[in-house]
Structure formats: structure tokens, C-alpha cells
Amino acid sequence: MQVEQEKKEKLWTIREILNWTSKHFHEKKIETPLLDAQLLLCKVLNLSKVQLYIEMDKPLNETEKRDYRALVKRRLNGEPVAYILNEKYWHNLKLYVDKRVLIPRPETESMLDFVLQNKKNCDLKYILDLCTGSGCLAIALAKAFPTTIVIGVDISTEALAVAKINAELNSVHNVEWLLADLTQLEIFQELKTKYKAFDIVVANPPYVTEKEWHSLEHTVKEFEPKLALVAADEGLFIGEQIVKNIEDFSLLSSNSIFAMEMADKQPQKIKSECKKIIQHNHPIWEIPKNEWFTLCDWERKERFLVKNVV
């Protein structure tokens, strides 16, 4: 009885909670155990990571412990931290995310960096973001080019609702959101009629095959939207439609750049004549002009299909 009373009255400090949780996460094969524990505890205590470490010996009250346990349980069930927190920091943006949209990835940042590097200090009129999802690319580009009109397109009304939240969260007002199916010609005809051509076109379409989807990690398959991940024809269908119609409707301006994210080696299946470019080993002036090429991500995987029109 006395032992049970002592257990009940035990005070758990921030330090003890973090040590216990990170160890438990590690045992459960969670990839970033300490970071995840820190982020969840910061959320519950409404503290920054710096404040968390300043107050390491602060005990948690019963309400804080209960709330923290609930978040830890969700993480152990495989739910990504970004969804638990409804928050993702990506390319200097603070984004709201939930199960309606994919969590923005670092690989997409490298594609964005390439586009920004090539178009910095340029006077642009229109930018197009296809399969916008959370709106991360559209919003980042809108902030980089505040006098340019950015069009963000997605097939999901739920995704566009999240994108609009993120535009407001980041004080961006030069993005127009468009609900459309990119496998239909009508959307490209509409874009041509209204905007003529775009100075930047970026796309991050679904490119996972149905077979690949079944073998994805639990944390992705069970929580992130399948609509934003899976495409027919070996994952190429939507990407192929985008490239074909961008070309058929002449949607690239005379001084523009197109960049689309795919899986490794997929760009060559759409444009077999592609040259391979490792962007971090090549200055901008060496990038091919007026022809398609593949751009490698940080791991040198050929992930991005690009055309630099001059």
C-alpha cells in the first residue's frame, strides 16, 4: 500500500519525462526518438525547445502528464509528429498540416531552391503550382515574388482548404486557388485562356504505384492521403498528363522554368532524352537551355524533371 502511494505521488520532471519517452520511442524503432519527445512535450507545456532545457527540473502536473501521455500514444500508433502537432516548419514557412494533405518533404525544398536560384531578381507575371496540396510551394513562391500572381491547383477540396489556411498563416495574399482534375484537358485550356503562359511552373503530382503504396511504412500508408500519393501507369499517369498538356497548350513563357518532382528514375520514363544534372556540382550557367533534363536531389537521385526556357 505504501509503495503504491509513493508511485502515485512520484513527481516527473521534464528531464525524466524526456529520458523515459525517448528511450521508449527508440525501443519502438521510431526514427527520431529524442526530437519527437521534445516536440510533443513542447506542445503540451507551450514551451520552446530552449525553454524546455532551461526548465529541465520542472515537474509536470497531472493535467500535463495526462495530455502528454495522449500525444505519446498517438506517436506510438505511428501517427506522424507533424499531424499530432498540426504543424510543419518547411523552407522558412510555418505550415498547418493534417491528414487532408501530405507532409511537405525536404526533397521538395531542393527543387524549390533550384527554381528560386534560377529566377531570383526576375520580374515575373504568373506562377503555376500543380498538385499544390498544403500549398507549400505556392506560398513559398508567392512570398519570394510578392508582386506575382500565383495559381495553386489541386483535385482535393480538402487540400485546398488547408492551403488557404496556410496562405493566411503566412500572410500571403497573391495566390489564387483552383479546384481541378489535371487529367482533364479543360483545366489546361482554362489556364491558357486566362493567363496565356507562366514564368514558373512547379508540380508535385502523385507518383507512387499501387503496389508500392501497399509496402509503404505504416506512418505514411495509414495516415497520409492516398489520393496525393498514388497514380496509375506505374506512377507516371498524372506526371505525363502534366508534361504533355504544358507542352500542347504552350503554357511556358519565353523565359520560364518548369520543375516537377517524381520518384527516382521516373523523369527519364517521361522524357527519355533527358540529361542528368547534379545541381550542387554545376553553376547555373551550365544548366541546359530549351531542353528537358533531370535534376538530382541531395542524395543524387534523379527526382526532378526540369526545362529551362530562354
For the cut 60, the answer to whether the pLDDT of residue 212 exceeds it is yes
* DSSP secondary structure code for residue 103 in this structure: P
Q: What is the pLDDT of residues 29-61, one digit of tens each?
A: 999 999 999 999 999 999 999 999 999 999 999
Question: CA 232, CA 16: separation in Å to the nearest integer?
Answer: 49
Instruction: Quickly state the pLDDT bin for 280 (edges 50, 70, 90).
Output: low
pLDDT value of position 288: 85
b/e string for 31-65 if b means 16 or more Cβ within 10 A? eebeebbbbbbbbbbebeeeebeeeeebebeeebe
pLDDT tens for each residue of 78-121: 999 999 999 999 999 999 999 999 999 999 999 999 999 999 88
pLDDT at 222: 94
Half-sphere exposure of 265 (CA within 13 A, CB side): 1
Domains delineated in the chain? 14-77 (1.10.8), 100-296 (3.40.50.150)
What gap in Å lies between CA 15 and CA 37, rounded to an integer?
11
Evaluate if residue 285 carries a pLDDT over 70: no
- Give the CA-trace dihedral at 61, 37, 72, 229, to 10 degrees: 150
pLDDT of residue 121: 83
pLDDT band at 300 (very low <50, low <70, confident <90, very high): confident
Q: Which amino acid is at 143?
A: K
Instruction: Report pLDDT for 275.
Output: 76
List strands edge to edge, sheet with 175-179: 175-179, 149-154, 126-130, 198-203, 252-261, 302-309, 292-296, 275-277
Convert the pLDDT of each residue in 3-26 to its tens digit.
454 445 578 999 999 999 999 999
Of residues 287 and 72, the one with the higher pLDDT is 72
Neighbours of 92 (CB within 10 A): 10
DSSP bridge partners of 127: 150, 200
Query: By percentage, how much of the chain surpasses pLDDT 90?
Result: 85
pLDDT score at 274 = 78
Q: How confident is the model at residue 279 (pLDDT cuts 50, 70, 90)?
A: low
Confidence category of residue 278, pLDDT binned at 50, 70, 90? low
Average pLDDT, rounded, for the chain: 92
pLDDT in tens, 183-202: 999 999 999 999 999 999 99
How far apart are alpha carbons 69 and 76 in whole angstroms? 10
**How many Cα atoms are found within 13 Å in the side-chain-facing hemisphere of 238?**
25
